[in-house]
Amino acid sequence: MGRVAGAVDAAAADISRSGDGIISVDLPRGAAFTDEVAVSTSSQLQVLSGGRPCRVLMRLKGVASISRMARSMLGRQTNASAIALVGESPVDRVIANFVLGAEPSDCPVRYFDSEPQALEWLERDNAA
């Protein structure tokens, strides 16, 4: 996939694990979620989860684009027990629908426009 004009380097994605075991992935606004970023994110998820199933909260707020490989890799996260995608705009929803429309996922994946609802879903319905 070509680079989106004006897109920023997403290599600086902030990935962290909270005390309740949810791993948060924050992509910078205007970032292109490229193949390289997908590979790096997948590797970091593997390290932070210790190779065990984990719940993932991915903030897509203002992401410029997502590559086909990145979309496919999200659905095949072998160590993810559930993935909540959070956005705030119609464009975020379109990008999330692109992810949700990928090949069948190995875990539940849902889009939310409210982070509290996403966290509730991860904690209530998808305890790792």
| Nearest C-alpha neighbor of 72 from the set 111, 39, 30, 45 | 39
pLDDT for residue 36: 87
Residue 7 has pLDDT above 60, yes or no: no
**What percent of the chain is predicted at pLDDT more than 90?**
23
Which domains are present in the chain? 10-125 (3.30.750.24)
End-to-end CA distance of the chain: 33
Residue 81 has pLDDT above 50, yes or no: yes
Tell me the HSE value of 104 on the side-chain side, using a 13 A CA sphere.
Answer: 1
**pLDDT grade for 64, boundaries at 50, 70 and 90:** confident
pLDDT for residue 8: 42
The listed range with the strongest mean pLDDT (7-16, 22-31, 112-121) is 112-121
Q: Residue 75: what are its φ and ψ, rounded to 5°?
A: -70, -15
Number of CB atoms found within 10 A of residue 114's CB: 11
Please state, in angstroms and as integers, the Cα–Cα distance from residue 51 to each residue in 10, 45, 64, following that order: 24, 8, 30
pLDDT for residue 11: 53
Residue 127 has pLDDT above 60, yes or no: no
pTM of the full predicted structure?
A: 0.82
